[in-house]
Structure 1
Amino acid sequence: MRTGLTSSLPVWLAVVISLLSFQSYAVTIDRLEKSNDVEIQAWLSDVNEQGDSREESEQSKTLPSFSVNEQIILYVEVATPRWFTGGTRIESVEIPNVIAKQRNQLATNYTERKGGQTWSRQRWEITLYPVKSGTFTVPSLAVNVQVSAPDGSNVSGNLYTQPMNFNVSLPSGLLSDDTPWFTATHVDVKQEWSQSSDELKVGDAITRKVTVNAQDSLSVLLPNLLKSDSSPYFQAYPQPHRLNDTQTRGDYQSSRMEETVYVIQQGGDFKLPEHQFQWWNAKTNKLETVTVEGKSFHARHTPASFVKANFHWLVSLLSTLVIVLIVLLGARRYFRTHPTPPWLLFWLEVRKGEWSKARAQLYRYLRVSTDHLEMGKADSDKAWLKTSLQVQTGAEKAYVFHKMWQMISGKKGARNGLRLPKALPKLDKGHKEG
């Protein structure tokens, strides 16, 4: 029994040693990277850099610089002289004040001759959008890959990119971090109008839809246009915004669609306002302004909306009518027990064209006002003589009669005001005679 155990011990020792040796010399991603059987690279590029900028990024001694809100592309590329045997996964990028989004979920695969070998390459793109000025750092990223080893086995593990720093600043002194704007290479705006009826009235609705399409930007960075534009004429009801980001063969497109329904509250003419926004053209390095035009409308009143819109005016009118009615009723009651005033009789006679009665009324007024019986002798003023002559010669014109009445009224005031002073010369004459 002991002899059997003793004879099998060397066998067990050999098995253990062989297993330890296999684990010691097992192929790993780290060993493949050290032996140049797999490699990883990462670099930053803006939208104007169309070629491979790896060498320029590696050789540049200054930090790359970008603009606030500009689309920065982080390229991550892994390569092997053999082939990839599984999917590649990249760790998510997290940088304060930078929006990171892997919009392209597929890598660009291609081959390249290097040192007499054919290398398989996978290039991944991650878009970065810095929203503040400053210096930022892209941290070291873990990239999980699976490749074929020289011994034919499949090896998987994490490769790590080098950290990268870059500067971000405002592209123009006309912009600030507090004003809404965005960066793109092309912007297109489309506006649509619709209304619930051809002839608008109070209670109808107008729908306004604005769509902003931007190239090389992000939908969350596009401006909010249709704000609360309510007024006495309409009430605004914003609908949920629709944001969309797409990527087609390296072409990044973003869109923001806003829709607002305006319910008419009051009839009349009104205008839905225009809106403006600014964007920085990263291709031409210019600040551009886009105006979304407004539109004028007219809505008919309903009886209820007319009363509501003109309530204060209607109350004032009704109050005035009531006061006038009270005055008329009071005057009617007064004149039932009192004689009609001469001025009213004269006005009624002139209006009816009863010229002889109106002329008699003028002479009566003249006698009462001036103690004169003849118009021509009451005053020597040219205007008086001309008007009195027209009345005496039979003129039948309302404005002549009214003018004569006003001139007699002036004489009446002068007579009343000078009656006492006029007696003074007579008293002085009597004193001298005495």
Structure 2
Amino acid sequence: MSYLEGLPEPHILFDTQYRILAANAAYRRQFSPERSVVGRTCYEVSHHFSVPCDQAGESCPLVKARESGQRERVLHLHHTPKGEEYVNIELAPLLNAGGEQAFFIEKMEPLRVAQSQSAAQGLIGRSPAFQQMLGLVARVAPSMATVLLLGESGTGKELVARAVHEASPRAHRPLVAVDCASLPENLFESELFGHERGAFTGANTARGGLVEAASGGTLFLDEVGDIPLAMQVKLLRLLETGTYRRVGSTEQRHADIRVVSATHRDLDQMVTQARFREDLYYRLSTFPIHLPALRERRDDIALLATSLLARVAPNRKLSLSAPALVLLQAQDYPGNVRELRNLLERTTLLCDGDMIEETHVLQALLSGRRPSVDPVVAPQTSPGTASLTPTPGALKAVEHAALQQLAAAHPGSRAELAARLGISERSLYRKLKAADGGSNA
């Protein structure tokens, strides 16, 4: 206990029955400044559970340590004086004279790069898919391993790259992003490695490249699948040897960087088609992390919507009605969070009050891409809509009901309503006819 008291990180000591025996000063300051936790169980203090974590659907480090006999790490969502926070847990078993596990020491470190509640910036979410991804970020960030972020466009790969950087020992040094898709092949080498004076036409002065700019920090290669084959071999040399040359120079320079790369492309298929070097692929993918699509984490849409509304309409206090949220959660979002943001910005422009209703969301959907239908999501019954069951046509029924409400409430002509919705009058008549047919069915 005396040893723990002097440690700078929050630590607790507890027994095999989950009872906390001691909490050091760092823990008391950060997690329990007003009430002692000694004598209480760890799962009640951290999670407000009445049973151990593994019985409440969480991964329990104590159970894992009992099984492995070794130190175990997990990422948990803890209740703290600041609300719920993601916390890195590292638990080590202590053996008695008979070699049996008698006590456990748990070190806690908040993961500052992500929130379980809506926030102005950063990673936001609490769904299982999000937490699984975040757990991998927490594990790999303190290392020097090369990370490959895989996911569809709009899933937040740059945010995750920043999270890896900010949770690493290099957080005090720069994170330099390279947009590989926008760099012309003839400029790629110069932008990345720099050039000497006279190296090519227009090189009037020597200039360092992005690798030098990232010295001591992290180099983020965004859309690495778009790097031309001729340039891939030069990047491979950088990763294999840690050295590079400026264009026009014979001097070898050492690169003090950690590399994180990202792509929405299928690199395995590109390797098979000889469009991406296999050796470079293995160098980049030491630790791959899959970023879940928004349709894989629908439970996070409410949190994301609250945060995004604050960004797209910072001077308004907007809320989403329950039917509006159901309609948002029912979309497939091929553009993921980026598409959700665009949809919400369009919705705020169509809403004059403080409450975004289902009809506003429908207007925004009809004026953009066609709404998608997800047979898994069942809209809830709400005033003004028919009682629905979770069938493949449930979402269409909600859309038809909302369109009928718009038509009934609109005082002007059908042409004016079509213009307001951003669709042709012919499309409006077709949609209304489908809505009437659905209501008569």
Instruction: Tell me the TM-score normalized by structure 2.
Output: 0.20
Instruction: Tell me the TM-score normalized by structure 1.
Output: 0.20
Computing the radius of gyration from Cα coordinates, the structure with the larger value is 1
Higher strand share: 1
